[in-house]
Chain A
Amino acid sequence: EVQLVESGGGLVKPGGSLRLSCAASGITFTNAWMSWVRQAPGKGLEWVGRIKSKTDGGTADYAAPVKGRFTISRDDSKNTLYLQMNSLKSEDTAVYFCTTPDYYASRSYTHFDYWGQGALVTVSS
């Protein structure tokens, strides 16, 4: 069974920093392309960024609103994905989901099969 478990959420002041983690099990994490998707309270889904597997270059891409402030990284030895969030703004308040495609089933990286339960980040003074 695939499990993605986010942690590290909480309350942070504007301008502050926070790091989220996503522990993965049930997947071959080293081959996984992992994404973060967020959802502001009562709002829709918004893609935040993605990191490729190290085999495929290990590079990360970001949505325009977070580029330069957020950094996605991975520790394959720990099967863990990270989201370092700096210079946080009130509009970053959201539930943050980690997610990944089941490449072996679909041969595609352009959708999201598995999702964590989400971690709530609240940016407020």
Chain B
Amino acid sequence: QSALTQPASVSGSPGQSITISCTGTSSDIGRYNYVSWYQQRPGKAPKLMVYGVSDRPSGVSNRFSASKSGNTASLTISGLQAEDEADYYCSSYTSGSTLFVFGTGTQVTVL
């Protein structure tokens, strides 16, 4: 099971919106509505930002929104803030014996 494909880096200025893509296959993103997104700051554990394609856990800002089309999922951060600087990973449930696959990760930089 190969990792989901994400851009290595995305950047934006404060207040702008950015979108991170996550491309999988018909065996993971394309088959299930079980895409989640995680934010990870250096030296810290990942933090769940979105689950079930587009649902936000309690406490996560509504500046984070997500969607899916076909084999590709997307995370949009609107009103970019300095605190959003981090690595972001997508994940999907899969039909293979490896039940979950993560994305390659995207480093978000706030200019």
Which residues of A pack against B, CB within 8 Å?
A: 35, 37, 44-47, 50, 61-64, 67, 97, 102, 105-106, 108, 110-113, 115-118
In Å, the complex CA distance between A65 and B40 comes to 24
Complex Cα spacing A42 to B101, Å:
18
Q: Check A44 against B89 for contact (C-beta < 8 Å).
A: yes
B102's partner among A44, A61, A67, A102 (CB-CB below 8 A) is A44
> Does B34 lie within 8 Å of A110, measured CB to CB?
yes
Q: Do A44 and B105 touch across chains, with their CB atoms under 8 A apart?
A: yes
Question: Does A45 lie within 8 Å of B91, measured CB to CB?
Answer: yes
Chain B neighbourhood of A45, CB < 8 A: 38, 40, 46, 89, 91, 102, 105
Q: Decide: A113 and B89 in contact? CB cutoff 8 A.
A: no
**CA–CA, A106 and B55, complex, Å:** 9
B52: Cβ under 8 A from any A Cβ:
yes
CA distance A82 to B40 in the complex (A): 24
Residues on the B chain within 8 Å of A37, using CB: 46, 102
Report whether B36 and A115 are in contact in the complex, using a CB–CB cutoff of 8 Å: no
Q: Does B1 contact A (CB under 8 A)?
A: yes
Task: Give Cα A5–Cα B58 distance, bound, in whole angstroms.
Answer: 23
A111: contacting residue among B3, B40, B91, CB under 8 A: B91
Render B41-75 as a binary contact track against A, CB cut-off 8 A, 1 for contact: 00001111001100101100000000000000000
Partner of B51, one of A62, A106, A116: A106
B104 at the interface (CB under 8 A from A): yes
Cβ–Cβ contact A47 & B99, under 8 A: yes
Closest chain A residue, CB of each to CB of B105: A44
Which chain B residues border A35 with CB–CB below 8 Å? Answer: 100
- Interface residues in B72-90 by Cβ distance below 8 A to A read 89
Q: Are the CB atoms of A46 and B102 closer together than 8 Å?
A: yes
User: Are B34 and A111 interface neighbours, CB within 8 A?
Assistant: yes
